[in-house]
Structure 1
Amino acid sequence: MAPKSTAAKPYNVVVVGQNGRLSYEAVIFVASLRTMSPDFKGRVLVAEPQVGPLWEKDPTIRNQQVRDALTEMGAEIIPFENKHFGEKYPFGNKIEMLSALPKGEPFVFFDTDTLITGDLNAVPFDFDRPSASLRREGTWPHPQLYGPGYTGLWKSLYDKFGLDFESSLDLSQPDEYWRRYLYFNAGFFFYKCPHEFGAKFLEYALAIRDTPPVELCAQVFDPWLDQIALPLVIHALGGGRDTLPDGLLDGAVTCHYRLLPLLYARESDHAVAVLEHVTAPNKVKKVLKNYDPIKRMIYQGRGVKARALFDQKNMPRKEQAIRNRLKSNGYWMR
């Protein structure tokens, strides 16, 4: 029996927006959502970290044009407080902002560097069974020569939180190969209640950071902490890697491009066309041109020139190789 879908009911979409690049990416995200999913009925929330002791610089969106553009497109800017992470670990924003979302209402979180390229209403979210992005590389952990392997490292975390390790494994993948173990990119995730998800996410992330199992003594948690805790949260809440159909998120409906030079270098012709279409209206352009990397990549044509450096049918296998080619040719901007 196919998993039930609650996607027909309204749900909230949320990104984190703060001063600088992320605020301009949020404008592109909302513009693409409104253009490509015009019938989306849920709330669109931009979670904004507030000034506090964990920030040396004011993280709020201080450009009034950006704020106005977001609200004119129907997005709501909602504040949240950083109590645990902040400037030293800004990826923690996606953990701490969850407590500011409406309790008991289904949500989908996206990184701001995401482009909506299709109809979000076509995605059959089962909000009772959370999941996250499978567009990832084996970035963590890094087994040491004389230490535990992938199994020992991951199992130590499942044991720490009283979770069943064996049921998390993808037995179609070889033992000690990173894909065998539940691991996500945190570019999107979803669940039926942000408070429930956020409380567990925060609990696990803080425990890993502050009192890690001894097996992890040689492992680095920055910047991977959110992606280390995320699969544990999803597994604990009854989700997994197979709760969404393939080919929709990180496929026909969304594109997690990470940075504009990477979008132009490796994403589909459709994604590039959507980017340039949704950023063309004057009311959007006048805002985005205030941010130099966007102005140069989109409006001055450097993105198209960067794309010409690559054969889309024979791309480098590793992202770092793509980055290096962009940098060596002067097209790396962020």
Structure 2
Amino acid sequence: MARKKASGQNFNIMVVGQGGRLQYEALLFAASLRAKSPGFSGRLIVAEPQPGPRWMKDPRIAAPVRDALADLGAEIVPFENRHFGEVYPYGNKIEGLAALPAGEPFVFFDSDTLILDELTALPIDFNRPAASMRREGTWPEEELYWPGYTVVWKSLYDKFGLEFESTLDLSQPDEYWQRYLYFNAGWFFGADPAVFGQRFTDWAVEVRDNRPEELAVQSLDPWLDQVVLPLVIHSFGGGRPGPDLAGLDGDVTCHYRMFPLLYARESDKVVQVLEEVTAPNRIKKVLKGYEPIKRMVYQGRGQKVRALFDQNDLPRPEKKIRNKIKAEGFWMR
């Protein structure tokens, strides 16, 4: 299929990178971005948490990965964890926004994402922020003595003085999770990372430390970022992404999460891109330091996982996919 002409939009991209799994995922992200989105002319910023009281071990990226990222034009920019850190690593995507240049449009991606096609062809309206709709009804959880979806969500909007009714998808039934504004935080975008990030940080800390009583029986770990993100997006005049941005959850990017799941359920295009961008020797010698990539991609275990499933008729829920992979002895994370 012919590649769409790039729109020429200027924006920056942020992923989080740190020692361990995320550094290799960030490198793979950078490789796929350079290979599949040549029209992207902004900065690729790898936000790196720094050593301090909130990390037991040094979280910085290892030297070979740093060099490989630099070769791909990525910039490693440090940031400090003031509120989160090891006890809630998802907070990196919140506090890490401080590593981006203020006043310049941005897109955040989880590091376990592949770029499949030209990003700049997408008509992103940065003044109307949005986030990924590739999500399940993970929060809030239905409990025996809980007040229901509407009461729980409205209590959060009320806490920050936000209007609630316009966030509802009235095509969905009352008290059904999809009626309420809820995202996967695997990608989101906005016009100004400094303003967006400060509000995201302030509100996440406030919900963590002073939750509404309506949330008393709800867990916020690991869901805090996904609880607060809809509030922040709504406060800046954003909401659900329209059909023009469906590619961010489809044929332009893929949030694969773990390599066994990628091989089990993603499209042939995703597998092709993965194996293409990991092939050059200059990146292969670095990526082989990460066991899941070494075994799944370079030693062919991923193709064995793929052969276990019909990608057009996958088991549901996801747990069944995981269990089948584990039963065959192929699970890695």
On whether the aligned pair clears a TM of 0.5, the verdict is: yes
Distance 1:203 1:244, change over 3 A: farther
Shift of residue 243, structure 1, vs aligned partner: 4.4
Using the TM superposition, give the Cα deviation of residue 306 of structure 1 relative to its aligned residue in structure 2, in angstroms.
Answer: 0.4
- In the other structure, the counterpart of 1:8 is 8
Normalised to the residue count of structure 1, the TM-score between the two structures is: 0.96
1:136 is matched with which residue? Answer: 135
Is the 1:128–1:192 Cα contact (8 Å) retained in structure 2? Answer: yes
- Distance in 1 (alpha carbons) for counterparts of 2:46 and 2:78: 8
Q: Which residue of 2 aligns with 1:3?
A: none
3-state SS of paired residue (2:254):
strand
- 1:306 and 2:317 matched: no
Q: Per the alignment, in what secondary structure is the counterpart of residue 286 of structure 1?
A: helix
Deviations 1:15-63, CA, capped at 9 Å, x for gaps: 000001100011110000000011211111100000010000111112x
Cα pair 2:122 2:245 within 8 Å, conserved: no
RMSD: 1.2
The answer as to whether partners of 1:11 and 1:105 remain within 8 angstroms in 2 is yes
Contact 1:125 1:244 in 2 (8 A): no
C-alpha separation in 2, matches of 1:191 and 1:281: 34
Report deviation, 1:319: 1.4
Return the letter of the residue paired with 1:250. Answer: D
What is the CA distance between 1:242 and its match in structure 2?
A: 3.1
The aligned runs of 1:199-238 (5 Å cut-off) are: 199-238=198-237
Residue 167 of structure 2 aligns with an amino acid whose one-letter code is: S
Deviation digits for residues 86-137 of structure 1 (CA, Å, limit 9, x no counterpart): 0000000000011121000110000000000111111111000000000000
After superposition, the Cα gap between the structure-2 partners of 1:244 and 1:7, relative to the gap in structure 1 and judged at 3 Å, is farther
**1:1-334 maps to which residues of 2 (within 5 A)?**
8-62=8-62, 64-243=63-242, 245-334=244-333
Q: Deviations over 1:152-177 (max 9, x none)?
A: 11011011111111110000001010
- Percent identical residues: 66
**What is the alpha-carbon distance in structure 2 between the residues aligned to residue 306 and residue 107 of structure 1?**
35
Aligned mates of 2:216, 2:145 — CA distance in 1 = 12
Contact 1:118–1:254 (CA under 8 A) maintained in structure 2 = yes
SS of the residue corresponding to residue 250 of structure 2 reads helix
CA distance in 1, matches of 2:13, 2:127: 16
SS at match of 2:189: strand
Residue 115 of structure 1 aligns to a residue whose secondary structure is strand
Question: 1:246, CA displacement in angstroms?
Answer: 4.5
Q: Which amino acid aligns with 2:240?
A: R
CA distance in 1, matches of 2:79, 2:179: 36
TM-fit CA distance, 1:317: 2.2
The answer on whether the counterparts of 1:129 and 1:243 sit within 8 Å (CA) in structure 2 is no
Q: Distance in 1 between matches of 2:141 and 2:9?
A: 41
- C-alpha separation in 1, matches of 2:129 and 2:162: 16
Gaps of 5+ in 1: 1-5
Q: Could you tell me whether the CA contact under 8 Å between 2:45 and 2:75 is conserved in 1?
A: yes
- Further displaced range: 246-255 or 48-57: 246-255
Unaligned runs of 5+ in 2: 1-5
Opposite residue 58 of structure 1, the aligned amino acid is D
Give, in whole Å, the separation in 2 of the partners of 1:286 and 1:230.
37
Q: Secondary structure of the equivalent of 1:132?
A: strand
SS at match of 2:117: coil
In the alignment, the residues of structure 1 paired with residue 142 and residue 325 of structure 2 have an alpha-carbon distance, to the nearest angstrom, of: 30
> How many equivalent pairs are there?
328
